[in-house]
Amino acid sequence: MSDLITIGGLQPFTMIDYPKKISAVVFLQGCNLRCRYCYNTSLLCSENDKSSVISFESLVSFLEKRRGFLEAVVFSGGEPCLQRGLQEAMSVIKDMGYKIGLHTNGFFADAVIEIINNNAADFIAIDFKAPFNRYQEITGYSINKEKYSYLADLLVNSEISYEYRTTVHNGILSENDLFEMADWLIAHRVENYALQEYKHGNSFDQNLPNLPGLYLSNMLYNKFDKNISNFIIRSDSDANYRELAA
Ligand code: SF4
């Protein structure tokens, strides 16, 4: 059991990574992307090149002790769908009585579709990083729009709770980009969507300027707010998007 997944980090307690549940987050090692704003850079290198910071067995025994206190376990990354043992690890922890969350960049649509069809997760959060024609420039890789869209249609119409989310760096995504992304979200009837401010720090692109805040015009804010029933903005800074969007 100990090498089922390679774990790059563990957040033993959080209130924000699974909706309305106290959860732990397991960060799986390795990611297929190199997003310019990524601050989880220690998780990027492949699971083949790094050993677990905690064995799966130790994770299970930690979760045994937290039963009754923690309610959910979120598999995040890196990109968790890169690891073959993901579904089995989810199943072991689900059998312990935990709700299962998945945070994914959405590139491995087939793996997420299998997870949905097997009812292996109770909550799935998928990154929507950019307009499809800008993925390569921002993440290092282009994405299969058709598969990504098919996954969205399946997820939105499933019983699984979900969220789409976009990390915004003001120097990377323009207002026009966000309008285009809003059109895709609306066309696919996405009802849960978060815009989140990027975190400055140890970014993959070391030259990325520190441009905090989330600035949306009234028109863009209203487009999201009127068409997406659960639209939220996550920002730690004193950004003036509220003024602009008021
Ligand atoms: S931000 Fe991008 S590069 Fe970083 S872990 Fe997430 S998907 Fe991978």
Q: Does ligand 1 lie within 6 Å of residue 199's CB atom?
A: no
- Would the CB of 8 count as within 6 Å of ligand 1? no
Question: For position 238, what pLDDT does the model report?
Answer: 58
Q: What is the 3-state secondary structure (H, E, C) of the chain?
A: CCCCCCEEEEEEEECCCCCCCCEEEEEECCCCCCCCCCCCHHHCCCHHHCCCCCCHHHHHHHHHHCECCECEEEEECCCHHHCCCHHHHHHHHHHCCCEEEEEECCCCHHHHHHHHHCCCCCEEEEECCCCHHHHHHHHCCCCCHHHHHHHHHHHHCCCCEEEEEEEECCCCCCHHHHHHHHHHHHHCCCCEEEEEECCCCCCCCCCCCCCCCCCCCHHHHHHHHHHCCEEEEECCCCCCHHHHHC
Mean pLDDT value across residues 40-54: 88
pLDDT tens for residues 125-153? 999 999 999 999 999 999 999 999 999 99
Predicted confidence at residue 2, as pLDDT, reads 52
Sorting pLDDT into bands at 50, 70 and 90, what band is 1?
low
Average pLDDT, the chain: 93
Is the Cβ atom of 165 under 6 angstroms away from ligand 1?
no
pLDDT tens digits for 99-112?
A: 999 999 999 999 99
Q: For ligand 1, is residue 143 a contact (CB within 6 Å)? A: no
Distance 5 CA to ligand 1 centre (A): 18
Distance 121 CA to ligand 1 centre (A): 20
Residue 201 Ramachandran class (φ > 0 left, ψ -120 to 50 alpha, else beta)? left
Residue 33 near ligand 1, beta carbon < 6 Å: yes
- Does residue 245 surpass a pLDDT of 60? no
Q: Which domains does the chain have, with CATH numbers?
A: 7-210 (3.20.20.70)
Whether the CB of 40 sits within 6 Å of ligand 1: yes
The answer, yes or no, to whether residue 240 has pLDDT greater than 90, is no
* Residue 88 alpha carbon to ligand 1 centre in Å: 23
Output the CA 243–ligand 1 centroid distance in Å: 31
Ligand 1 within 6 A of 77 CB?
Answer: yes
* Ligand 1 atom at minimal distance to the Cα of residue 43: 5
pLDDT beyond 90 at 200: no
38 within ligand 1 shell (Cβ under 6 A): yes
Ligand 1 test: best mutation among 17, 25, 32, 33, most atoms within 8 Å of CB?
33
**pLDDT tens figures, 146-159:** 999 999 999 999 99
Higher pLDDT, 226 or 202: 226
Mutate to test the pocket of ligand 1, among 27, 32, 38, 103 (most ligand atoms within 8 A of CB): 38
With a 6 A CB cut-off, is 105 part of the ligand 1 pocket? yes
